[in-house]
């Protein structure tokens, strides 16, 4: 019975975080100190592009760590949300950054970022 309450609480907490922040990264570690390479890559892209985002360290809370996988129906961490919508994990965010799709998404929903920095990432990885 208690586990059910915890799951609902984690889901509510995740939903609240996703809906109250324009950009959220559920990651292992924090944006200042990522704890895995994939989280580090996505945080690095967002940090470099100057995106203001909330970071949620899934290692700090096992309920959230499992809860986010259930919430998005996506098996891996990190997970990026923009304006309440699940965008994807490391591979998808990397691909979108290099193709310019991430810029287009940010432009469409009004998320501020440094366009020049986004171009630099593409130039360095082109």
What whole-number percentage of the chain has pLDDT above 90? 92
User: Mean pLDDT across the chain, nearest whole number?
Assistant: 94
pLDDT over threshold 90, residue 73: yes
Q: Six-digit token pair at 16?
A: 């609240």
Among residues 76, 79, 112, 72, the alpha carbon closest in space to that of 93 is found at 79
pLDDT for 17: 97
Residue 90, annotated as binding a ligand: no
How would you classify residue 59: left for phi > 0, otherwise alpha for psi between -120 and 50, otherwise beta?
A: alpha
User: Domain 2-124, CATH 3.40.30.10 — does that match?
Assistant: yes
pLDDT over threshold 70, residue 12: yes
Report pTM.
0.92
Distance CA 65, CA 58 (A): 5
Identify the band that residue 112 occupies on the pLDDT scale cut at 50, 70 and 90.
Answer: very high
In sequence order, what are the residues at sequence separation of 6 or more whose Cβ sits closer than 8 angstroms to the Cβ of residue 44?
Answer: 34
Per residue in 26-48, pLDDT (tens digit) is 999 999 999 999 999 999 999 99
pLDDT for 126: 78
| Peptide bond preceding 78 in cis form (omega within 30 of 0) | yes
pLDDT over threshold 70, residue 98: yes
């Amino acid at each position: 019975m208690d586990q059910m309450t915890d799951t609902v609480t984690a889901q509510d907490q995740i939903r609240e975080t996703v809906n109250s922040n324009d950009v959220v990264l559920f990651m292992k570690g924090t944006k200042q100190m990522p704890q895995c390479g994939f989280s580090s890559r996505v945080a690095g892209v967002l940090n470099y592009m100057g995106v203001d985002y909330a970071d949620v360290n899934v290692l700090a809370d096992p309920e959230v760590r499992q809860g986010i996988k259930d919430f998005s129906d996506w098996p891996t961490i990190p997970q990026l949300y923009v304006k309440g919508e699940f965008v994807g994990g490391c591979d998808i965010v990397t691909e979108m950054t290099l193709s310019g799709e991430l810029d287009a998404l940010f432009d469409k929903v009004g998320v501020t970022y440094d366009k020049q920095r986004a171009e630099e990432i593409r130039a360095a990885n082109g």
